[in-house]
Amino acid sequence: MPGELMVRAGGKEYPILVGSGSYKEALPEILRRLGPDKVAVVSHPPLREMHGKDLEEALRDELPRHGRVIWFTFPEGEENKTLGTVTEGYRFLLRESLTREDMILAFGGGVVGDLAGFLAATYMRGVRYLQLPTTLMSMVDSSIGGKTGVDLPEGKNIVGCFYHPEAVIADVSVLRTLPEREVLSGMAEVAKYGFLYDPEILREMEGWPEGRPPEGYDFAPLVRRCAAHKARVVGEDEMDLKGIRAFLNYGHTFGHALEAAAGYRMLRHGEAVALGMIMASRMAEWSGRARVPLVERHLRVLLPLLRDIPRPLEVSARDVLGFMEADKKRGRSLRFVLLREWQSPELVESPPPDLVWETVERTLKDLHAAR
């Protein structure tokens, strides 16, 4: 079995399996244990085209003779992570006679994982599911911890629940099929774990040529390291009630507003979070909360991950602050994760609006000037 970690949360324990070729190694044992007749793979059409044959072979070898692999695919993009897509999924599963004894498999990045998890949690009051993430970001973050959900026009992940998978299988060999920009976007979430918990991650990233993973890099140890941090945090604060899990939102308050202001098209999620962490480091310094210099190192680690974003980025500070203000009007306080020093985060509620404005405006101006 590939390198195995365990998540312990909500009275449940399940493994995170990390390795190269790990799904072909891990799926037989998991399917023998769970014994479904049918597996419904939730994915995007390009992923089915690229990996579908191999995945089906790995699944069918362990299904009973009458068992079937069925595919529910939907278009890529955050804009398709909706209740409408979930409803299509319910009807598809009903037509295919999927029962509670069967299983759903989320095969994709964060959008697929969130939607498939919510579909599994709510179809027939809950069916078992597996997470098989295909992006670096989903391997180190979104596939772990049981957060599921879909978006409304008013915001991301407004509808959702906590529902844990039977296992997470992170097969790093799949990363070789990703565009470099997608890998660099995922590295922002990796860097987040370095800033929050793990100085060794930052030292490794700083040693890479041009700040990016070298050709042929083995991601398995890095994914395992990040996944271990996520598993620990989930075990301590599964429902995000103690403030511990909230630290994982480092850079995300700025980042989500940047994504929305960019129409979910110009920026990958990780790119928006990278910019958000740069903004958070500046806010921490300018507010006097930081006990050590933060900004220079954030720029050194994160700017190489942003090389493919549009220049100039057609986003204004007014747009970004407008989305933050909309969140406030819906009763959601602006809560920022800031660093006092390396690996020492704190939660800051509703900082001075002038400070938020200056942080966003100056960072965007600097980004435009560096085109």
pLDDT tens, 208-247?
A: 998 889 999 999 999 999 999 999 999 999 998 888 999 9
pTM of the model: 0.94
Where residue 64 falls among pLDDT bands split at 50, 70, 90? confident
Q: What percent of the chain has pLDDT above 90?
A: 79
Where residue 341 falls among pLDDT bands split at 50, 70, 90? very high
Where residue 332 falls among pLDDT bands split at 50, 70, 90? low
What does 20-73 look like in DSSP terms, one character per residue?
TTHHHHHHHHHHHHH--SEEEEEE-HHHHHHHHHHHHHHHHTTS-TT-EEEEEE
Q: How far is CA 370 from CA 205, 227, 307, 366, in A?
A: 22, 34, 11, 6
* DSSP-based three-state secondary structure for 148: strand
Handedness of CA 250, 214, 45, 307 (dihedral sign): positive
Give per-residue pLDDT as tens, 103-119: 999 999 999 999 999 99
Q: Which two tokens stand for residue 59?
A: 């699944």
Where residue 60 falls among pLDDT bands split at 50, 70, 90? confident
How high is the pLDDT of residue 13? 94
Give per-residue pLDDT as tens, 140-199: 999 999 999 999 887 788 999 999 999 999 999 999 999 999 999 999 999 999 999 999
Q: Assess whether pLDDT exceeds 80 at residue 327.
A: no
Q: Assess whether pLDDT exceeds 60 at residue 250.
A: yes
> Which of 26-30, 122-126, 252-256, 298-302 bottoms out in mean pLDDT, i.e. has the lowest?
26-30
- Of 42, 41, 139, 143, the residue nearest 86 (C-alpha): 42
Task: Quote the mean pLDDT of the chain.
Answer: 93
Q: Assess whether pLDDT exceeds 60 at residue 254.
A: yes
Give per-residue pLDDT as tens, 192-204: 999 999 999 999 9
How high is the pLDDT of residue 328? 63
Q: Assess whether pLDDT exceeds 90 at residue 369.
A: no
Q: What is the mean pLDDT of residues 257-278?
A: 92
Amino acid at 245: R
**Quick one: residue 149, left, alpha or beta (phi over 0 = left, psi -120 to 50 = alpha)?**
left
